[in-house]
Amino acid sequence: MTDRQHLVDVTGLRGELARSDPPTVLDVRWTLTGGGRADYETGHLPGAPFLDLDAELAGPPGRGGRHPLPAPEKLQGALRRLGVRAGHPVVVYDAGGAPPTGAAARAWWIMSWAGLTDVRVLDGGYAAWVAAGGPTTTEEPTPAPGDVTVTAGSMPVVDAAGARAVAADGVLLDARVPARFRGETEPVDRVAGHVPGARNAPAGGTVDDSGRLHPPEKLRERFAGLGVREDQPVAAYCGSGVSAAQSVLALTLAGFRPALYVGSWSEWITDPARPVATGEEQA
Please say if the pLDDT value at position 178 is more than 90. yes
CATH for the 157-268 domain, from 3.40.50.1460, 3.10.520.10, 3.40.309.10, 3.40.250.10: 3.40.250.10
Contact residues for 243 (Cβ-Cβ < 8 A; gap 6+): 100, 101, 102, 175, 176, 203
148 catalytic? Reply is no
Distance CA 268, CA 272 (A): 9
Share of the chain above pLDDT 90, in %: 95
CATH superfamily of 7-131: Rhodanese-like domain (3.40.250.10)
CB 234 within 8 A of CB 259: yes
Average pLDDT over residues 173-197: 97
The pLDDT value given to residue 282: 57
Phi, psi angles (nearest 5°) of residue 7: -120, 155
Average pLDDT over residues 254-283: 93
Distance CA 234, CA 251 (A): 9
Please say if the pLDDT value at position 7 is more than 80. yes
Please say if the pLDDT value at position 3 is more than 70. no
The pLDDT value given to residue 1: 36
Q: Check 103, 104, 121, 238 and give the catalytic one.
A: 238
Q: Is the pTM of this model over 0.85?
A: yes
Please say if the pLDDT value at position 2 is more than 50. no
CB 275 within 8 A of CB 244: no
Domain boundaries, the chain: 7-131, 157-268
Distance CA 8, CA 221 (A): 22
> Is 7-131's fold the same as 157-268's?
yes
Cis amide leading into 49 (omega within 30): no
The pLDDT value given to residue 34: 72
Please say if the pLDDT value at position 92 is more than 60. yes
Contact residues for 175 (Cβ-Cβ < 8 A; gap 6+): 102, 201, 202, 203, 236, 237, 238, 243, 244, 246, 247
Q: Work out the mean pLDDT of the chain and round it to a whole number.
A: 96
HEC readout, the chain:
CCCCCCEECHHHHHHHHCCCCCCEEEECCEECCEECHHHHHHCECCCCCECCHHHHCCCCCECCECCCCCCHHHHHHHHHHCCCCCCCCEEEECCCCCCCCCHHHHHHHHHHHCCCCCEEEECCHHHHHHHCCCCCECCCCCCCCCCCCCCCCCCCEECHHHHHHHHHHCEEEECCCHHHHHCCCCCCCCCCCECCCCEECCHHHHECCCCCECCHHHHHHHHHHCCCCCCCCEEEECCCCCHHHHHHHHHHHCCCCCEEECCHHHHHCCCCCCCCECCCCCC
Please say if the pLDDT value at position 179 is more than 60. yes
CA distances from 104 to 17, 122, 193 (A): 19, 8, 26
Contact residues for 262 (Cβ-Cβ < 8 A; gap 6+): 64, 65, 67, 68, 69, 157, 241
Distance CA 201, CA 283 (A): 12
Average pLDDT over residues 186-212: 97
Report which residue type is found at 133.
Answer: G
